A and B are shown apart, each in its own frame.
Chain A
Amino acid sequence: DQQVKQNSPSLSVQEGRISILNCDYTNSMFDYFLWYKKYPAEGPTFLISISSIKDKNEDGRFTVFLNKSAKHLSLHIVPSQPGDSAVYFCAASVSKTSYDKVIFGPGTSLSVIP
């Protein structure tokens, strides 16, 4: 059973609007969460992360929200740009400081339409 779920395989958004990508997890031991972005024929790249002691982390156009009680996190991209079109992976770890392996979700393919 998947511990990290991204129930929307794809999402289309108009340029300039907000993109919201959702992620749910089942393991209550997860306390560090990450988002990765992947372009075709490239490896995933780290985008933004959040620790369980926070409920929001912002980096430029990207904001991640964490709702621990619901075991849910979301990535907001405002405003969306065509260059944001990529596959976005949600990931979770049981620790921020130790070198535990990270569990990835199946990904959401975002298309930003000009």
Chain B
Amino acid sequence: DAGITQSPRHKVTETGTPVTLRCHQTENHRYMYWYRQDPGHGLRLIHYSYGVKDTDKGEVSDGYSVSRSKTEDFLLTLESATSSQTSVYFCAILAGQGNTNYGYTFGSGTRLTVV
């Protein structure tokens, strides 16, 4: 278990309100990612971080911002939630070991509904 915790697990919010999702890891991994999962699209990268205060955009970053002030926490903010942002959001860390990339380890997800 890579010790990834996402909160909240479920959230319903109104259109136009800001929402922040939290990802917390306990194993000091440098790389953290936010993905969204939608039917027919699989998992799409929103933003990722390669260190404290070092972040970059992914494939579907519009309408989202992130912050990483501590190694263990990676926050995803929907600045003004829209119905198109209704989705399941997954945080991931990169569980590489030396020269062997074992790929990502994912959190359990946050199901967000924007009404």
Q: Is the CB of B58 within 8 A of A49?
A: no
Choose from B50, B90, B95, B100 the contact partner of A44 (Cβ within 8 Å): B90
Chain B's nearest CB lies how many Å from the CB of A21?
13
Q: A9, A91, A95, A104 — which one has the most chain B CB atoms within 10 A of its CB?
A: A104
Bits for A22-52, please: 1 = Cβ < 8 Å to B, else 0: 0000000000101010000111111001000
Q: How far is the CA of A97 from the CA of B100 in the complex (A)?
A: 6
- Bitwise interface map of A from 73 to 114 toward B, beta carbon under 8 Å scored 1, else 0: 000000000000000010101011101011011110000000
Q: How large is the interface on B (under 10, 10 to 19, 20 to 34, 35 or more residues)?
A: 20 to 34
Which of chain B's residues 50-81 have a Cβ closer than 8 Å to chain A? Answer: 50, 58
Size of A's binding interface in residues, CB under 8 A: 26
Per the bound structure, the CA–CA distance linking A69 and B99 in Å amounts to 26
Contact A34 B108 (CB under 8 A): no
CB closest chain-A residue, reference B111: A41
Q: Are A43 and B107 in contact (CB under 8 A)?
A: yes
**Closest chain B residue to A51 by CB distance?**
B101
How far apart are B6's CB and chain A's nearest CB, in angstroms? Answer: 8
Using a CB–CB distance below 8 Å, which chain B residues touch chain A? 4, 30-31, 33, 35, 40-45, 48, 50, 58, 90, 92, 94-96, 99-109
Chain A interface (Cβ < 8 Å from any Cβ of B): 4, 6, 9, 32, 34, 36, 41-46, 49, 89, 91, 93, 95-97, 99, 101-102, 104-107
